[in-house]
Structure formats: structure tokens, C-alpha cells
Structure 1
Amino acid sequence: MTDGQVTIKLTSDEALVLSDWLEKLQMTDLSRVVGDPAVRAPIHRIAGTLDKALPELFAPDYDQRIETARQRLRPEN
């Protein structure tokens, strides 16, 4: 972190599931859930970055892909 930026590495499953959750979060009244505007700014930035990096978001079988990713990420009982 020498240039003042932080890099976060995610698997494609993690990125897809996080992107889906962030999209749902942003569709709510985000200011009710996240009161501090300083926190909302990076949420939007992360969501935008994931949107650009994930072509799966626009795939016709998106629902199947997101569910498969969730299943792979859930710990086994």
C-alpha cells in the first residue's frame, strides 16, 4: 500500500456474490442502512469496479451462475 491504494483479491465466486449483494444493498434506501456518506462512497466504487470486471452480470443464465457461486462458497454442514 505504498501509493495510498488498497488492492483486494477475490475469487470469481466471491466477486459475483459480493456484486449481487452490493447491487441489492444499493437498490434499498442506502442512507438508512449506511448512515455515513463517507462509507457509501467506497460502497459505490467497489460495486462499480465489480460491475466492470464481471461479464457474468449480463449473462442470460445469471440466476443459475449466482446460485452456483453461492453454493460453492457456503461452508459444508
Structure 2
Amino acid sequence: MDEEAITVRLTRDPAFVLSDWLCQVMFESGDLDGIVRDRAVRSRIHAISGTLDKTLSEIFAPDYGPRLGAAKERLRAGMYGGADEPAPPGGSD
């Protein structure tokens, strides 16, 4: 089997938003096992999450929520030309 490394590049906003989503699914909701049944896949998801955690200083900022909201808005604006509908109750998109 070929073990050549593959590099995935993300800018800070997508990385920050992905990190937050992974944290919600893996730790806050406890849904990862139900969403991803294959342990091999889950192990890679944990590895990706760990890499993001080590790279992103934003996850430790006291203004985490506002920074995350701003990153999401910038991503929406980049994709749709502006903000889409408001976040559902509970604050997650």
C-alpha cells in the first residue's frame, strides 16, 4: 500500500469553523460514533481535529464566540455574496 502523505490546506477561517464543528460533534454532542460508524475513519477525524487544535490559537481566545461568528460570516459572504439566513436556536449552523 502506498503511504505517501497527502496535504490538505485550509486558510484560518475554514480551519477554525471546521475545528469548532468537529469539537461539537466529537465532544459536546457525543454523536461521532453514530455519525461515523467505522473506527478507522473516526481515528482519522480525531487526528485531523488534534492537528487543528495544535495549529489554531483562536480556539483559546477569550472572544472565541465572536471570532467564530465573524469567520462563519466571512465564509458565507465568500460563498454566497452575503450572509445567509440567521443561525438556528442554539447558535450552531
Q: Is the partner of 1:56 in helix, strand or coil? A: helix
How far apart are residue 39 of structure 1 and its match? 0.7
> Which has the higher Rg, Structure 1 or Structure 2?
2
Q: Which TM-score applies when normalising by structure 2?
A: 0.76
Distance in structure 2 (CA, Å) of the matches to 1:52 and 1:62: 16
The correspondence for 2:72, drawn from 51, 67, 70, is: 70
Query: Is residue 12 of structure 2 the alignment partner of residue 12 of structure 1?
Result: yes
Runs of 5+ unmatched residues, structure 2: 83-93
Report the Cα distance in structure 1 between the residues aligned to 2:55 and 2:68, rounded to whole angstroms.
15
Q: What's the counterpart of residue 37 of structure 1?
A: 39
**Residue of 38, 49, 53 corresponding to 1:47:** 49
- Alpha-carbon distance in 1 for matches of 2:21, 2:31: 14
Larger relative helix fraction? 1
Aligned-partner Cα distance in 2 for 1:33–1:17 = 19
Q: Which structure carries more relative contact order (alpha carbon 8 Å, separation 6+)?
A: 1
Provide the aligned length of Structure 1 versus Structure 2. 76
Normalised by the size of structure 1, how large is the TM-score? 0.91
The CA RMSD over aligned residues, in Å, is 1.5
| Partners of 2:31 and 2:15 in 1: CA distance | 23
* TM superposition shift of 1:29: 3.2
